[in-house]
Amino acid sequence: MTALPPAAAPPLPPGGPSRGAFAPFRHRDFTALWSATVISNVGVWMYNAAAGWLIAVLDPQPLTVSLVQVATMLPMALVALPAGALADIVDRRRLLIVVQASTMVASALLGLIVLTGLATPALVLAFTFAAGIGAAMVAPAWQAVVPQLVPKADLPSAVALNSVGINISRALGPALAGLAIAAFGLASPFLINAAGFLLVIGALVWWRRRPARASQLPAERFGNAIRTGLRHARRNPHLRATLARSLGFFVCASAYWALLPLIARDLVAGGPQLYGLMLGAIGVGALLGALALPRLKARLGADRLVAGATLATAAALLLFALARHPAVALAASVVAGAAWIQVLSSLNVSAQVALPDWVRGRGLAVFVTVMSAAMTLGSLLWGKLAGLIGLPLALVVAAAGLVAAIPLTRRAKLQTGLGVDLSPSMHWPQPVLSHEVAPDRGPVMVSVEYRIDPKDREAFLEKLAVMEHERRRDGAYAWGLFDDAATEGRYVETFMVESWLEHLRQHERITRAARALQDEIRALVRPGSPTVTHLIATDLPRRNARPEEADETA
Is the per-residue pLDDT at 3 higher than 70? Answer: no
Q: 335 vs 95, which has greater pLDDT?
A: 335
How many Cβ atoms from other residues are within 10 Å of residue 147's Cβ? Answer: 18
Q: Which range is least confidently modeled, 8-22, 91-105, 117-131, 294-308?
A: 8-22
The pLDDT of residue 135 is 82
pLDDT for res 11: 36
Residues 204 and 88 both lie in one domain: yes
Q: Residue 492's domain is classified under what CATH number?
A: 3.30.70.100
Higher-pLDDT residue of 459 and 171 is: 459
Whether residue 415 is contained in a domain is answered as no
Q: What is the pLDDT of residue 408?
A: 93
- Least confident among 12-21, 65-74, 379-388, 516-525: 12-21
Q: What's the average model confidence in pLDDT over 292-307? A: 88
Q: Are residues 390 and 478 in the same domain?
A: no
CA distances from 176 to 109, 114, 273, 279, 287 (A): 20, 18, 9, 11, 17
> Virtual CA dihedral for 101, 277, 284, 121, nearest 10 degrees?
-40
Q: Which domain holds residue 448?
A: 444-546
What pLDDT does 552 receive? Answer: 46
Distance CA 195, CA 12 (A): 40
Tell me the average pLDDT across 223-232: 84
Average pLDDT, the chain: 83
Q: Note the pLDDT of residue 47.
A: 84
User: What would the mean pLDDT of 172-201 be, rounded to a whole number?
Assistant: 83
pLDDT digits (tens, 9 = 90+) for 307-318: 999 999 999 999
CATH at residue 146: 1.20.1250.20
Domain count, the chain: 2
pTM greater than 0.85 (yes/no): no
Last residue of a domain, one of 408, 431, 465: 408
Does 204 lie in the same domain as 75?
yes
Report CA dihedral (353, 356, 359, 362) to the nearest 10 degrees. Answer: 0
The answer to whether the beta carbons of residues 89 and 220 sit under 8 Å apart is yes
- Identity at 310, one-letter amino acid code: T
Q: Are residues 59 and 179 in the same domain?
A: yes
Do residues 149 and 247 share a domain?
yes
- CA 106, chain centre distance (Å): 25
d(CA 404, CA 390): 22
Question: Does residue 213 have a pLDDT over 80?
Answer: no
- Residue 554 pLDDT: 41
Convert the pLDDT of each residue in 452-483 to its tens digit: 999 999 999 999 999 999 999 888 999 999 99
Helix axes 237-262, 272-322, angle to 10 degrees: 110
d(CA 470, CA 450): 17
Give the three-state DSSP class for 504.
Answer: helix
Which is it for the CA torsion 213, 217, 221, 227, positive or negative?
A: negative
177 and 254 in a common domain:
yes
The answer to whether 101 touches 181, Cβ cutoff 8 Å, is no
Does residue 74 belong to any structural domain of this protein? yes
Same domain, 364 and 478: no
- Looking at residue 333, its pLDDT comes to 93
Q: Are 500 and 437 in contact (CB under 8 A)?
A: yes
Q: What are the pLDDT digits (tens) for 342-370?
A: 898 889 889 988 888 888 888 888 898 89
| Percent over 90 (pLDDT), the chain | 27
Q: Amino acid identity of 334? A: V
- Residue 17 is assigned to a structural domain of this protein: no
Q: Are residues 227 and 183 in the same domain?
A: yes
Tens-digit pLDDT profile for residues 397-432:
999 999 999 999 999 999 888 778 888 888 888 887
Domain identity same for 397 and 532: no
What is the reported pLDDT for 553? 42
Type of residue numbered 161? L
Answer yes or no: is 429 within a domain: no
**Alpha carbon 522 to its chain's center:** 36
Assign residue 474 a region (left: φ > 0; alpha: ψ between -120 and 50; beta: otherwise).
alpha
Q: Is the pLDDT of residue 173 over 50?
A: yes
pLDDT tens per residue, range 139-152? 778 777 777 787 76
- Asked if 232 and 385 touch (Cβ cutoff 8 Å), the reply is no
Determine, yes or no, domain membership for 302.
yes
Domain membership of residue 5 (yes or no) is: no
- Residue 533 burial (CB count, 10 A): 12
> Do residues 170 and 261 share a domain?
yes
Query: d(Cα 431, Cα 417) in Å, to the nearest integer?
Result: 31
DSSP-derived secondary structure letter, 415: S
